[in-house]
Structure 1
């Protein structure tokens, strides 16, 4: 008879400040990990010996105009009165996973989840040209989300670094939107996700377009080809579908148990059309239920 497997119970430490958390993570090295919502970290088959919980650090909480603490939950983002320029982030938070997860999953955790191609907030933040503040033993610095993702997920960042906050600007005339496609509906990982941000002039013509595609490749990324296809248009359905085709022509899709790569490319134009429509949605008439179609 095979003896039962007993997993070691990790320690949990609860620092009271960012500096204390950074110092402790540096001391622990690979045997420690920062703990926020835990919705992704807890899935690891090899958990660290010590979790450094960030929950008592007040500095990591709070939602201000265009700035969010790293412990801001998806539910808090979904409930925040975001301007049209930041709508993509609200839609991504509101339609991700299901209520139980949205209540605990955090903004910082979504950015730091390695190997999580379906992270909903990441393409939205890329399209919004967001930046982050990071605390390390050497001090604090700011970096764009794109650069942060390349370093954090490429294992070149300081393992003791703590993401403090995320910031995005909201100029007048800018609109953004987000859409995702799942197998059966809300509560599932996205097969494809698209975020679009653009400055619209008085005639509704788009410029300064930023597009990010998630879940198709191993990590969400900007798509310049789709941005070029949308520039100078009114973000109408035909233009959005053309942008989706442009994206499909350059992306290298992944296969997994939920969908083959070819299917992800096939549905891109439709998801682009929905993301563009979300950009143009009037908040006064928005009756989003919080679940993905």
Structure 2
């Protein structure tokens, strides 16, 4: 196809094939747009405006949430929609992250796909929640479909091929899995978190069988922390272990300085947030 959009023009795509083909042709001169909450702040980040934008809101493949195992989430699902999903405790970290993020006006339009793809936005709340929940992404491009783990996607996010779109996000929700999310904010910065933490654990007979801890807003990109393995084989309510794990996670990270908080402060508050999130695994009701 030939793209004839004027500079700064927004094209409302009518099919997934049209959207991906147009984005592939535009390359770095184009950008997909959904809720627009990240794109509208581009000038504040000193980003160069794109020659054209491809709006995705009319694409049915990117809408809708289907609870189950896994929970099947359309990439254009908003934070408000995610917060209202009736799903198993395995999904609680995602639901809680969506519910606490930003302001209601933002939650009503900001999308899960946009949150995942917001490069340069370490404060994104859904990303650590989805990492802890072992989310898988369904991708579509002119070359076809692909399914990748979110953890793998983030390592190559800066270099993904033009024309590729996240269409669905799938979150495993086995009955024995529990999860939780915590964040610390400073209201004057627009409710961005200084630190956000998500935990997920498979628990049977009161013992942790697998565990994942993801931390956001401390490093430039949310990260899964290997210290979570220290929980495996231990009682889920063992407070001595959770104390040690919080300190071990903090030691894994290289915190960033920011206008909202210095690096040392992010490290200092992180263990307490992890302990609080881990405590929720055994105290929150189904």
Same fold by TM-score greater than 0.5 = yes
C-alpha deviation, 1:16, in angstroms = 1.2
* Partner Cα distance (1:184, 1:136) in 2: 39
**What residue is the counterpart of 1:20 in the other structure?**
18
Output aligned runs, 1:6-45, within 5 Å: 10-45=8-43
Q: Does 1:71 align with 2:76?
A: yes
- Of 85, 98, 110 in structure 2, the residue corresponding to residue 93 of structure 1 is 98
2-side partners of 1:51 and 1:156: how far apart? 19
Does the aligned pair in 1 maintain the 2:34–2:57 contact within 8 Å?
A: yes
Aligned partners of 1:96 and 1:67: how far apart in 2?
Answer: 21
State how far apart, in whole Å, the 1-side matches of 2:235 and 2:167 are: 37
State the distance in 2 between where 1:117 and 1:128 align: 18
CA drift at 1:241: 2.8
Output one character per residue of 1:193-233: Cα deviation in whole Å (capped at 9) or x when no partner. 1111101112x2212101111111010010002x0232223
Further displaced range: 117-126 or 228-237: 228-237
| Cross-structure match for 1:165 | 168
Shift of 1:18: 1.1
How many residues are treated as equivalent by the alignment?
A: 273
- 1:186-265 equivalent positions in 2, closer than 5 A: 188-202=191-205, 204-225=206-227, 227-231=228-232, 232-265=234-267
Separation (CA, whole Å) in 1 of partners of 2:210 and 2:82: 25
TM-score, length-scaled by structure 2: 0.91
Q: Decide whether the 8 Å contact of 2:218 with 2:255 is kept in 1.
A: yes
Tell me the TM-score normalised to structure 1 length: 0.89
1:183 matched residue in structure 2: 186
RMSD (Å) for aligned C-alpha atoms: 1.7
Using the TM superposition, name which of 11-20 and 272-281 deviates more: 272-281
Change (3 A) 1:19 1:43: same
Structure 1 residues not aligned, in runs of 5+: 1-7, 285-293
